[in-house]
Every structure is written in structure tokens, then in C-alpha cells.
């Protein structure tokens, strides 16, 4: 019988799994090498979507995950971490427009909500945008998409779990897993603590491969670095996720905006001492693109630059649920954790305690050939 579960990682996945286990009556210790939300979950664009995700199983899982966010935010008083304002996207050249048309056609074929807007309709939703920066038409609108504030979500989930009797062990890295006879028996921490475990859930994000290795497992990962630029508070009305050709942005609380491009991700550098820096000219370029789209941003400054590691399994799909060769060891690792965490965390927690969720998790098992082939 599973009584004590050790969850490794206190990001969105670890918090979701811990809360779901606690709700089911398990005793949980969630451990993290740092503070909750201090890793990837605190440095994410956290766009909730299933926009163009393939294969169909991944798309459907993401749609179910969006619904889980919606339900949690509705069920919890003051669940203000969830924002479903929609997403606007357009392209600047023929190739980009053709790719966007294919994406919209694909999601519509799946029954996903999307429609085309004119410039005037887009400005009706986001009136502070500069009309000159918008095309006359072919602006895609995905109304059920949005974003979460991951730190607030993690705080809610962990506080609920701790109130239910679970323990948070922060700033205490996992150093070893004791495995005998095909079972994880205990988790050792840097502090010297030895936690006996009936089950272990690996929610370690970018460090998931290292935790898997401690259990004798090989988890192929292709993590990438992500860079986000946070503006100072500015009197600009932005209510949605915006994917413009030269900048992606969304609100970030307190009047701040969060800006990103795929190009800026590649300008982060790690020094010989491990310090991470971002090319100042790349930051300036992103900010200027934001100011061009929202002229009211011209009074803003850069308040912070956040750099994080995106955990991406080798074939790009989530790794979720139990391991056949090590049945009390479970995974909850993926890109798009902001979208998937609440739903996936609940399913993984259920499986840890013996529930049958194979129909939902079968496509994302650790043993799938496509993951091992990478």
C-alpha cells in the first residue's frame, strides 16, 4: 500500500502532483534543491494552449489540461493566477501567413476554437496597439487560450497540500535514490536526511534526467534555454497573449508586460563561472518591437531579464506516469508544463495510488519507442 510519496521538484508539476496526492489522502514530502517556483516554473511565458500541437493525442491532452485549469480557477475563491483572455497571432511574410493558415485549418479540423479577425476587430480587442503594425486581415484569434501566473498557482497548490499534512523540504537537493529488487526504497538528501518512500515522482524539470539516472534509468532530454524580458509598470492596456511577428508579449501583473522572441533565447551565454548573461542588443531589439506594437510602452524600462531552462524530453512529448521496470517510480516531466501541469499532475497522482489512467497516459509513457530512439 502506498502511504508515503516523495515528490522531487516544487515547480508547477511537483506542486500539482503533491496537491493531488494530498487530496487523495497520501502523506507526501515534496523536495527541491531550491525554493518553490525558483526554477523553470518561475521563468516561463506560461501560455496555456493547444495551438498546433501534434500528434492528436498531445493536442487532446492539452485541451483537457486547459479545461482543468479553468475548473480549478472556478472552484477556488480568488483563483486569480489563471487568465483566459485569448491569443492573437499574425505573420509578416508569405511563408509565415501560409504556415498560420495551415495551423488554423488544422486546429479547426480538431474542433478547437479559432477564427480570423480584421485589423478593426483586433483593435476592438486590443485598442492600444498601433494600427500600422497590424495587417488588414488574417489575424488569427484563439479565444480559449491565455496564461497562468505560475508562482501564484504553485503557492496555492503547495499551501493546500501543506495544510493537508504534506511536507515541503526546500533547499535540500536529492543526492541518491536507494533501489533494491526493482523498487525505490528511499531518497537521500544533501542535508543527510533519508526519506523512506513507497513511491517517488520525478518532477525535476530540466534536472529530470539526472534524477532518473539515480534510479538507473536513461531519460533522453533536449533542454533549451528561454529568455524573458519583464518591463517596468506601464499604463498600457494589454489583456491577451500576443504573438506578433517581431515580439511575443502578455501582461505580467502590476502593470508589467512580459516579452519574448525565439531569437533572444539564443543570445544567452554562460560564463566560465556559471553566470548567465544575455546580449544587451537582443534585449533592446525585443523592447523596441514591443514599443512599436504598443506605443504606450515607450515610457517603460526593463525591470528584469529572466533566464530559465525549458525541460524538453527527447521526442518533444511529455513523459508521464509509472515506469514498467521500476513500478513505484513515476515521471511528470514535459515542455508546456504551464498548460499540462494541473491535469497531468492529477492523473499521475491517481496512478501512484493505484488508479487506472492508462487510456489518458498511454501515449506519454517512458517506454515509448520514439523517446528511446532519441
Select from 98, 125, 143 the last residue of a domain. 143
In angstroms, the CA 72 to CA 77 distance is 10
Instruction: Provide the pLDDT for residue 273.
Output: 80
Q: Which residues contact 334 (CB under 8 A, 6 or more apart)?
A: 13, 311, 312, 313, 317, 318, 319, 320, 340, 344, 364
Tens digit of each residue's pLDDT (9 = 90 or more) over 213-234: 999 999 999 999 999 999 999 9
Tell whether 234 is covered by a domain. yes
Share of the chain above pLDDT 70, in %: 99
Q: Do both 134 and 96 map to the same domain?
A: yes
Q: What is the pLDDT of residue 167?
A: 98
Assess if residue 72 is contained within a domain. Answer: no
CATH number, domain with residue 40:
3.50.50.60
C-alpha grid cell for residue 301? Answer: 524600462
Cα-Cα-Cα-Cα dihedral sign, residues 166, 172, 174, 180 = negative
Residues in Cβ contact with 167 at an 8 Å cutoff, skipping those fewer than 6 apart: 28, 29, 30
Q: Examine the domain organization and report whether 295 and 228 are in the same domain.
A: yes
CB 258 within 8 A of CB 45: yes
Residue 77 is assigned to a structural domain of this protein = no
Model pLDDT, residue 88: 98
Q: Are residues 60 and 161 in the same domain?
A: yes
% of the chain at pLDDT higher than 90: 92
Segment 261-289 mean pLDDT: 91
pLDDT of residue 131: 98
293 and 354 in a single domain? The answer is no
Confidence of residue 78 (pLDDT cuts 50, 70, 90): confident
Q: What is the CATH number of the domain that holds 302?
A: 3.30.9.10
Residue 60 CA neighbour count, 13 Å, CB half: 10
Whether 59 and 157 map to the same domain: the answer is yes
For 202-212, what is the mean pLDDT?
98
Is 49 part of any domain? yes
Query: Are 214 and 318 contained in the same domain?
Result: yes
Same domain, 105 and 248: no
- 230 and 102, same domain (yes or no): no
Residue 298 and residue 231 in one domain: yes
Range of the domain at 201: 4-64+150-221+314-372
Instruction: For residues 286 and 259, give the distance between their C-alpha atoms in angstroms, rounded to a whole number.
Output: 7
Q: What is the pLDDT of residue 347?
A: 98
What is the model's pLDDT at position 41?
84
Q: Taking 70 as the threshold, does the pLDDT of residue 65 lie above it? A: yes
Does residue 113 lie in a domain region? Answer: yes
The label of the residue with cell 483566459 reads: 84
Is residue 374 over pLDDT 70?
A: no
pLDDT tens for 90-102 read 999 999 999 999 9
Give me the sign of the Cα torsion angle 90, 93, 97, 99.
negative
Cα separation, 262 vs 255, whole angstroms: 24
- Averaged pLDDT, 340-364: 97
pLDDT tier, 42 (very low <50, low <70, confident <90, very high otherwise): confident
Residue 191 has pLDDT above 60, yes or no: yes
| Number of folded domains that form the chain | 3
What's the pLDDT tens digit per position in 291-336? 999 999 999 999 999 999 999 999 999 999 999 999 999 999 999 9
pLDDT single digits (tens) 114-143? 999 999 999 999 999 999 999 999 999 999
Question: pLDDT at residue 25 above 70?
Answer: yes
Over 70: is that where the pLDDT of 373 sits?
Answer: no
Q: Are residues 352 and 318 located together in one domain of the fold?
A: yes
Q: Is residue 71 part of a domain?
A: no
Is 289 within the bounds of a domain?
yes
Q: Is residue 79 part of a domain?
A: no
Amino acid at each position: 500500500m502506498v502511504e508515503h510519496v516523495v515528490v522531487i521538484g516544487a515547480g508547477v508539476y511537483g506542486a500539482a502532483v503533491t496537491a493531488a496526492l494530498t487530496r487523495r489522502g497520501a502523506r507526501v514530502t515534496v523536495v527541491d534543491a531550491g525554493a518553490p517556483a525558483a526554477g523553470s516554473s518561475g521563468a516561463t511565458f506560461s501560455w496555456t494552449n493547444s495551438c498546433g500541437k501534434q500528434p492528436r493525442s498531445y493536442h487532446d491532452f492539452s485541451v483537457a489540461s486547459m479545461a482543468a485549469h479553468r475548473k480549478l480557477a472556478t472552484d477556488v475563491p480568488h483563483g486569480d493566477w489563471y487568465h483566459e483572455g485569448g491569443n492573437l497571432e499574425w505573420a509578416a511574410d508569405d511563408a509565415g501567413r501560409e504556415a498560420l493558415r495551415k495551423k488554423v485549418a488544422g486546429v479547426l479540423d480538431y474542433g478547437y476554437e479559432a477564427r480570423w479577425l480584421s485589423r478593426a476587430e483586433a483593435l476592438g480587442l486590443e485598442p492600444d496597439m498601433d494600427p500600422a503594425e497590424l495587417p488588414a486581415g488574417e489575424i488569427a484569434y484563439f479565444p480559449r487560450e491565455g496564461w497562468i501566473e505560475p508562482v501564484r498557482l504553485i503557492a496555492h497548490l503547495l499551501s493546500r497540500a501543506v495544510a493537508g499534512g504534506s511536507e515541503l523540504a526546500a533547499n535540500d537537493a536529492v543526492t541518491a535514490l536507494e533501489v533494491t529488487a526493482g523498487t525505490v526504497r528511499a531518497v537521500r538528501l544533501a542535508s543527510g536526511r533519508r526519506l523512506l518512500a513507497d513511491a517517488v515522482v520525478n518532477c525535476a524539470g530540466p534536472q529530470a534526467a539526472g534524477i532518473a539516472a539515480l534510479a538507473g534509468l536513461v531519460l533522453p532530454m533536449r533542454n533549451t534555454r528561454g529568455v524573458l524580458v519583464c518591463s517596468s509598470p506601464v499604463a498600457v492596456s494589454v489583456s491577451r497573449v500576443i504573438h506578433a511577428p517581431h515580439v511575443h508579449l502578455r501582461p505580467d501583473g502590476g502593470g508589467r508586460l512580459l516579452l519574448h522572441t525565439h531569437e533572444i533565447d539564443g543570445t544567452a551565454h554562460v560564463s566560465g563561472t556559471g553566470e548567465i548573461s544575455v546580449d544587451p542588443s537582443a534585449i533592446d531589439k525585443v523592447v523596441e518591437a514591443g514599443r512599436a506594437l504598443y506605443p504606450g510602452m515607450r515610457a517603460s524600462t526593463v525591470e528584469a531579464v529572466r533566464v530559465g531552462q525549458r525541460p524538453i524530453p527527447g521526442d518533444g512529448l511529455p513523459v508521464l506516469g509509472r515506469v514498467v521496470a521500476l513500478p513505484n517510480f513515476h515521471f511528470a516531466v514535459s515542455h508546456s508544463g504551464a498548460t499540462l501541469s494541473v491535469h497531468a499532475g492529477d492523473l499521475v497522482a491517481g496512478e501512484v495510488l493505484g488508479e487506472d489512467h492508462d487510456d489518458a497516459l498511454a501515449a506519454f509513457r517512458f517506454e515509448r519507442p520514439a523517446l528511446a530512439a532519441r
